[in-house]
Amino acid sequence: MSNIRQRTERERAERERAERARANQGLPTLGFDSATPYDDYVGTATLHRLQHTVTDSPEELAFLVTTQVMELYFGLLKSEWQLAQRQLDDDDATAAITTIKRTVRHFEALNAAWASLSWLTPAQFNQFRDALGEASGFQSASYRHVEFLLGNKSEALTRPHRRNAEAYAELVEALSRPSLYDSVLAFLARAGHAVPREVLERDFSAEYQPDSRVEAVWVQVYGGPLAPLAEALTDLAEQFSDWRYRHLMAVRRSMGAKPGSGGSSGLSWLERSMRREIFPELWTARTLM
């Protein structure tokens, strides 16, 4: 019944659009009683009021807008991966693969955002960096949630958000819940693959440790109908590696090896983070194929 209702509503909407086009003689509608429907839907007035620079440096606005765009993508990725987990829990591999592939495209756009800061020199960054105080991308709760969903878990990294009750509660929950990779492995086990019980019943708040038996499972998966799932995850892991590399290069270009604003060592901290692989057996299994 729901599908019939949706089809009826879609047909009605298509007729209305066709009637407007005829009435306008093919031109766009130019008169509205209030704000345009586009502004209402997108919330453009709200979006454009969110940029509050703290210096007169002309470069700061690009830095702020790019950071805000990245935050929007973090929220989108979080929502999509949670959807993929629900689809995997329902054993709907086709839907989950479609969702994961879609997030690879999101990540491509997210990574491209670094180009908006690729011109930033130390002299330009120094014009507004001191005014940021201790503000650092390290403190992004949405990015931390994204990392937890990808399996990079750490209880210590929830602590900066203790004074933000909503963000802290979400991160603590994400810390204790299965990651996207955990959901994939549980799905593979239900599909008949020999994923070890110790992996399926592990402490999800602990950092994932590679297992040679899971490596063997992926070798098996690549020989069967679920190979597209493996490749979608590999594409995603590659995009995440690209994100971390571009972040590292943006920091190196704009501030060199100076300490980070948030208290870290800066460049060396990012270099250590890059060595934490996600979906590790997907990579090592390739040697055995």
Instruction: Assign 279 a pLDDT band (cuts: 50, 70, 90).
Output: very high
Residue 278, pLDDT score: 92
What confidence score (pLDDT) does residue 30 get? 79
What pLDDT sits at residue 165? 93
User: What's the Rg (C-alpha) of the chain?
Assistant: 23
Q: Residue 8 has what pLDDT?
A: 86
Over the chain, what is the mean pLDDT?
90
pLDDT (average), residues 232-236: 97
Three-class SS state of 280:
helix
Distance CA 106, CA 244 (A): 15
Check: pTM over 0.75? Answer yes or no. Answer: yes
Q: What kind of fold does domain 60-288 have according to CATH?
A: Methane Monooxygenase Hydroxylase; Chain G, domain 1 (1.20.58)
pLDDT digits (tens, 9 = 90+) for 182-231: 999 999 999 999 999 999 999 999 989 999 999 999 999 999 999 999 99
Look at 160-174, 201-215, 260-274 and tell me which has the smallest mean pLDDT: 260-274
The pLDDT score that the predictor gives to residue 179 is: 97
Q: What is the mean pLDDT of residues 51-65?
A: 94
Averaged pLDDT for residues 172-190? 97
Whether the per-residue pLDDT at 263 is higher than 60: the answer is no
CB 233 within 8 A of CB 285: no
Specify whether the CB–CB gap between 55 and 131 falls below 8 A: yes
Give the model's pLDDT for residue 48. 93
Query: Cβ neighbours of residue 249 under 8 Å, at least 6 residues apart?
Result: 114
- pLDDT given for residue 259 in this prediction: 64
| pLDDT cut 90: percent of the chain above it | 64
* pLDDT at residue 5 in the model: 85
Pick from 47, 219, 64: which is nearest to 128 by CA? 64
- Residue 223's alpha-carbon distances to 216, 230, 268, in angstroms, are 11, 11, 40
- For residue 144, the model assigns a pLDDT of 93
Q: How much is the pLDDT for 1?
A: 52
Q: What is the residue extent of each domain of the chain? A: 60-288
Residue 270 pLDDT: 65
Least confident of 122-136, 140-154, 172-186, 249-263: 249-263
5 a known binding residue?
A: no
- 192 near 259, Cβ under 8 Å? no
Number of DSSP helices (H) and strands (E) in the chain, helices first: 14, 0
The residue-averaged pLDDT of 147-159 equals: 92
pLDDT, average across residues 95-112: 97
pLDDT number for residue 264: 59
**Per-residue confidence (pLDDT) for residue 27, from 0 to 100:** 81
Residue 77 is predicted with a pLDDT of 97
Q: List the alpha helices (DSSP H) in 56-196.
A: 60-89, 93-112, 122-129, 141-149, 165-176, 180-190
Specify the 3-state DSSP secondary structure of 252: helix
Using CA atoms, how far apart are residues 39 and 128, in angstroms rounded to an integer? 31
* 253 labelled ligand-binding: no
- More confident site: 251 or 281: 281
